[in-house]
Amino acid sequence: MLSIEDLKVHFEIGKRGRDRKVLKAVDGVTLTLKKGEAYGLVGESGSGKSTIGKAALHLVPITGGRLVIDHEDLTRIDQRSEKKLRRKAQMVFQDPHSALNPRMTILRSVSEPLVLHTPLRGAALQARVAELLETVGLSSQFLYRYPHELSGGQKQRVCIARAIALNPDLLVLDEPTSALDVSVQSQILEFLKALQAELGLTYLFISHNLAVVRYLCRRVAVMYLGVIVEEGETEAVFNNPRHPYTQALLKAVPYPQAVQPDKGPPLGGDIPSPVDLPPGCRFQTRCPARVEGLCDKVAPPEIQDAGGLVRCHLFAEAGRASG
Task: For the segment 52-71, give every residue that binds other proteins (CB under 8 A).
Answer: 57, 59
Which one among 22, 120, 250, 294 touches other proteins, defined by CB under 8 A?
A: 250
Which residues inside 171-210 make contact with other proteins, applying CB under 8 A?
Answer: 181-187, 189-190, 208, 210
On whether the CB atoms of residues 201 and 160 are closer than 8 A, the answer is no
112 vs 317 by CB, closer to other proteins: 112
266 near other proteins (CB under 8 A): yes
Site for other proteins (CB under 8 A): which residue of 34, 76, 117, 297?
117
Cβ 87 vs Cβ 117: under 8 Å: yes
How many Å apart are CA 32 and CA 35, to the nearest integer?
Answer: 10
Choice from 34, 35, 76, 83 touching other proteins (CB under 8 A): 83
CB of 154 to other proteins, least distance (A): 8
Q: Which is nearer to other proteins, 266 or 323 (CB)?
A: 266
Coil, helix or strand for 115? Answer: helix
Q: Can you list the alpha helix ranges (DSSP code H) found in the chain?
A: 49-56, 79-88, 106-117, 122-135, 152-163, 182-199, 210-216, 234-239, 244-252, 316-322
Distance of CA 85 to the CA centre of its chain: 17
Q: How far is CA 28 from CA 117, 243, 250, 293, in A?
A: 33, 18, 24, 24
Nearer to other proteins, 11 or 146 (CB): 146
> Counting Cβ atoms within 10 Å, is residue 316 exposed (0-12), middle (13-18) or buried (19+)?
middle
Give 32 or 45: the residue with its C-beta nearer to other proteins: 45
Identity of the residue, 30 or 105, whose beta carbon is nearer to other proteins in the bound complex: 105
Residue 122 near other proteins by CB under 8 A: yes
End-to-end CA distance of the chain: 27
Looking at beta carbons only, is 75 or 146 nearer to other proteins?
A: 146
By CB under 8 A, the residues from 138 to 157 that bind other proteins are: 144-146, 149, 151-153
Contacts of 76 (CB under 8 A, 6+ apart): none
Nearest to 73 by CA among 148, 119, 5: 5
Candidates 255, 297, 320, 322: give the one binding other proteins (CB under 8 A).
255
State in angstroms the smallest separation of the CB of 88 from other proteins: 11
Which residues make beta-bridge pairs with 293?
Answer: none
Instruction: Give the shortest CB-105-to-other proteins separation in angstroms.
Output: 6
- 23 forms part of the interface with other proteins (CB under 8 A): no
Dihedral sign, CA of 218, 222, 227, 229?
negative
Short-list 2, 116, 100, CA closest to 55: 2
Residue of the chain from 32, 101, 240, 322 that contacts other proteins (CB under 8 A):
101
181 to 133, 178, 185, 188, 258: CA distances (angstroms): 21, 8, 6, 10, 21
| Cα distance between residue 88 and residue 111, in whole Å | 17
When the beta carbons of 249 and 303 are compared against other proteins, the nearer one is 249
Range in contact with other proteins (rule: CB under 8 A) among 26-34, 103-111, 287-295, 311-319: 103-111
Residue number with CB closer to other proteins (240 or 322): 240
**Given 17, 119, 254, 293, the residue binding other proteins (CB under 8 A):** 254
Residues 203-242 that bind other proteins (CB under 8 A): 208, 210-212, 214-215, 235, 238
